[in-house]
Amino acid sequence: MLRDYRRLARRVSRRVAPAILLCWCAVVVPSLLSAWHWPIDEFEMLRSFGARVGEYMLPGVDLVADPGSELRPVEDGEIVYRSGEYDGLRGLHSPLGSVVALEHERGFRTLYTYLSPPLVAELPRELTRADTLGTPGETGFGEPGALLLQVYDQERRGRVNPELLLPHYRVEQAPVIERVALLVDGDTIAPEEASDLPAGSYTVLVETHDTAHTAAGAPRLSPYRIVLESLNGDLRRQVALEFERVRDHRQWINAQPAVELVRGESLYAVGEVEPADEAREYRVTVVDHLGGLASRDFTLPPAQVPDEAENRAGPDQVGGQQ
């Protein structure tokens, strides 16, 4: 009897625990961070978390606003690091401008760069969310009125996408899927053009972007999550831009090397597929930070079948040899 109760308890815990965790994430976490706000009242998203910038992925969000806008901390905190616009040892201009790092409750730190004017030394050590940090400065790319905001989770030892923690800043719009392609012998081809594929694994590439309103001429914003699934139910892969860190001299997003994730501007490698004896149906779904989504289905043709006459030929007969 006791053994039966233990089995029942394990079954209930396996079913109930995920529901409890989901409710905790949906209710408790937002309430813990409900006091957080964006550091600028009126802004546009210049680059989102995970956006491709040269050879690396942005570990925060680039905001752009009127150069005279007031910057404030996202929440009450204590300054744990500050740096002026110039390197005191070498007298060199920093591309990040003035920098301030604040420590908040619950193990989070926020980093503000491009601050202008560079008077961070005059800021008090303790700041409230109503205090000013200065005004937005100029990025290393020469863009005025900008702020690079990063959020660091000390418990997980990595940077978190600020859009997952701060209030929604725009009206929901569905993301855009430009195309779905397969990487075959170094070339990108449409799935419908991938006839006679030999057996093996092929990378699925998705060209997609978020449709949030951005500054004029700004790059397309990165989506939040990309999911690849088989309509037969035997495959599910996903890419989520949630967590970033550097390990082994490489940049990682959710335990995936960034160089393998991003293959070009707005082009993501989301998973591998293998052709089978018959055609298979797949679906790619792109989700933005507000839950808006777009989907596209594609068919992977069957694997190439070797010629029957070639299969019947002996090893010495293939290629016309006797």
- 140, 95 Cβ separation under 8 angstroms: yes
pLDDT exceeds cutoff 80 at 17:
no
Last residue of a domain, one of 164, 192, 225: 164
What's the whole-model pTM score?
Answer: 0.77
Indicate whether 306 belongs to any domain.
Answer: no
Last residue of a domain, one of 141, 164, 187: 164
Alpha-carbon gap, residue 300 to 280, rounded angstroms = 5
pLDDT exceeds cutoff 60 at 19:
no
Domain match, 120 and 204 both: no
Last residue of a domain, one of 115, 137, 164: 164
More confident residue, 306 or 5: 306
Confidence grade of residue 9 (pLDDT, cut at 50, 70, 90): very low
Indicate whether 10 belongs to any domain.
Answer: no
- 302, 278 Cβ separation under 8 angstroms: yes
Indicate whether 21 belongs to any domain.
Answer: no
Alpha-carbon gap, residue 2 to 261, rounded angstroms = 50
> Would you give the distance in Å from CA 137 to the centre of its chain?
25
Domain match, 224 and 159 both: no
Alpha-carbon gap, residue 320 to 322, rounded angstroms = 6
Q: What is the pLDDT of residue 293?
A: 92
Token reading at 200: 């093996």
Domain region containing 102: 44-164
Cβ neighbour number for residue 183 with a 10 Å cutoff: 16
pLDDT, one tens digit per residue, over 221-270 is 999 999 999 998 878 999 998 999 988 888 998 888 888 898 888 899 99
Indicate whether 109 belongs to any domain.
Answer: yes
More confident residue, 247 or 162: 162
- Give the mean pLDDT of the chain: 80
Q: What is the pLDDT of residue 121?
A: 76
pLDDT, one tens digit per residue, over 43-90 is 988 889 988 887 788 899 999 898 889 999 999 999 998 876 544 444
Q: What's the total number of domains in the chain?
A: 2
Confidence grade of residue 166 (pLDDT, cut at 50, 70, 90): very high
Domain match, 184 and 118 both: no
Q: Measuring CA to CA, which residue among 135, 108, 161, 121 is closest to residue 39?
A: 135
Q: What is the pLDDT of residue 94?
A: 56
Domain match, 217 and 276 both: yes
Confidence grade of residue 92 (pLDDT, cut at 50, 70, 90): very low
